[in-house]
Structure 1
């Protein structure tokens, strides 16, 4: 099968090509050229920007066991509608993804759906109980790519040390959910001005920063790769910067909601703004943006966390943590571009190139000859309402639902095939 993307503006992390054609054959980019070919499907990319298919290192697809929130099919559809062609779903399924059978089920189901590449993040410990390590080698052979007890941090430092050592023996790594659960307690929002005003129990920055510090030091001890999930505080950024200055093998991610929103949105008790880690202050938000700009934070990952409406339409204390994020990834990140915080090359670096490098997926993350034909075509000026018609997830728990967004995926191409086309 042949395809030609004509008149493209191609943006990679290190270059921009204008009025160029991308020739695709058998799922691979055959050439990026001024020439054309015959007998091929044609997409006119005038007024569109071509970027490598986005890679989301942190999603929750709830499958198996919690499919009423999301499943691998609906999650895949939300992903490609958001321009994402590769996803890493976390292990907090039901049962927990702590063995090769569940990992294999997830990989096989994603292949059957056929929209994205899915690389499961399996549990660090059995049952995510923080006690006994999983059979990492067996799980990696089944298709997993990394390990995390996301949502239930490994509180025992000895267990986390052994996890780092064990994973590194297989060429894999650990994704930490940095939260001291004892200090966070029953907190539901950021501890500070808004928690005082609302009477809601707060979670201090230090609940995150203590564990970031611990995990950095464990990475230093083991010389293994530690990836820090959803960093949300200025102090956390400073700790990561310090670790990188010492050459410690640490990478980090930030979620779009943490560089787009602050705790000030919580004064009306809207549970769609309830997430973990919580929305922080303006100072924290600006620190995250600066860290994305200067490379302290390596990637943007959505922490896509769908929930049934009944799990949000309750008292704030009882509402589930988390928001959907796959279909708001592009518009929220493009807002940083529009505001002059980052440029389009940095956009690509944060959402595609650097994730590919961290995951050692050298066949993607860059538009060039012989790379996998995973390409997202974006209209950066497209305005639309993010509503039921646009939404592909089973869930609608997003503070951006019903709002006007700017910047849309117009086509998503996976392995040389169109898997999504925008229809308003």
Structure 2
């Protein structure tokens, strides 16, 4: 294995695996820390998908270190810690604590922070993270139910989460190319900096950064940071030329769409789907908690909808989400929905459903766990950062499209279903 990656949620892991696969690396994604002796099938890159974004920081650190140990056992030369391109986190972490722990375990002195993903409108300039034309703090992420982002300065955000000194590599340096970036890293290292936020506003920037960090043992960022990494191994003749993509065959069976994300993008996609005549059923966490809505009701409804692919969703606007959180607690409101949708998915699989489109990182993690999926083969791209995948292992295979809440065009649901036709 050449490259090992640790992702803090499932959809982010899939996004990263797609990027590496597209850049010519044979990539396997595993769900959770794999057991000792796990067969990665001669993969060039392995992405370990954790569910560590919003758990207590000490647990996130422990899981990430376990994943690192497994990747090191299989010979990973470089490690990527992948988090969301909108830097989803709180003042306590978990990006800072995990970065600090991984850097210490790898016995290295410095790493970078670069969540930029220009294709999806995430750019970093002067250390500030932009979502489209908006600062992160002015984007819909300010209303995220679990990780509201009210500051766009990555230097401030990162410094609040770690005791390591944080610096910045500005746009002018990045634009000057990989040699200038490498020189800036060495200068910052000599000055005692250990974490460097790096500006990036284009894929060309990311490729320059990728070349400059070829000697670092740890890289942190969004999936975009991986664009330039495979070429480093190719230059050293450790990786062959880009070849044809692995053949993808989705299993036969019925399809279902499940949405737990409350992001503005997912809400728009749901509205578009309903407007196009997609049968939809909204689940309410308050109704679930009160015992007024049981999984069997939704399962029977979905099984009876045979004309079009049905959509089951809990997504709601920020005010509605806030009401549920005030009554149930912030974390419990989300967990109720995740467990409910996961139970629905498992029951529908038993009824012949084999194609699952899931929106939302936490929801995706719960659904994948309920379906017993341990590894994924990356398939065709639906929208930037979101592929169809098929499960690997001894169980009956299922096709999965695991979408980060913020990703995808407004017609994403119909586009995803049409692709499997």
Q: Please give the TM-score of this superposition, normalised by the length of structure 1.
A: 0.30
Structure with the larger helix share: 2
Q: Please give the TM-score of this superposition, normalised by the length of structure 2.
A: 0.30
